[in-house]
Amino acid sequence: MSRQAFSLRQGRRLRPIASWAVYSSIVVVVAMAVAYSIFGVAWWANGEDAVSDNWIGWTAGVTLIASLVLSLAAFLVAALAMARREHRPMLWLPLWLFPVLAGTVAILEFFVIE
């Protein structure tokens, strides 16, 4: 019995680039959840003074910028994979993550952040 790579079509292998897009999006979701959980707990405990001008605010800001860049790269790679008709079960995650993240940042910037 020979071992072959999983494929949705006979004789066609899935490329690791599509997997990279999915795994990068998972990393972005986990990093954002951890950073903003820390931010939320600190804000809840001590208010604005707990998150301004210290490592908690810096971590949240750097995580947001890095997440936007990485999710944009994953979005472009996933779009390329879809254009090449490579279908992964979780390829929808990078295709939705960047627009949702960018839209959330835009809405927060316009209506919440002064």
Residue 89 has pLDDT above 60, yes or no: yes
8 within a domain of the structure (yes/no):
no
What is residue 62's predicted lDDT score, i.e. its pLDDT? Answer: 93
Residue percentage of the chain with pLDDT more than 70:
85
List pLDDT tens digits, range 53-64.
Answer: 888 888 988 999
Region 70-90 average pLDDT: 87
Instruction: Say which residue, 56 or 114, is predicted with more confidence.
Output: 56
Domain total for the chain? 1
Q: What is the rounded distance in angstroms from the CA atom of residue 82 to the CA atom of residue 92?
A: 10
Residue written as token pair 């254009």: 83
Instruction: Say which residue, 99 or 112, is predicted with more confidence.
Output: 99
Instruction: Say which residue, 80 or 10, is predicted with more confidence.
Output: 80
Q: In the numeric block, which tokens belong to residue 30?
A: 């986990």
Give yes or no for a contact between 98 and 75, defined as CB atoms under 8 angstroms apart: yes
6 within a domain of the structure (yes/no):
no
53 within a domain of the structure (yes/no):
yes
112 within a domain of the structure (yes/no):
no
List pLDDT tens digits, range 15-48.
Answer: 788 888 889 999 999 999 999 999 999 989 888 8
Residue written as token pair 């604005």: 48
What is residue 74's predicted lDDT score, i.e. its pLDDT? Answer: 93
Range of the domain at 21: 17-106
DSSP code per residue over 48-99: GGGTSSSHHHHHHHHHHHHHHHHHHHHHHHHHHHHHTT---TTTHHHHHHHH
48 within a domain of the structure (yes/no):
yes
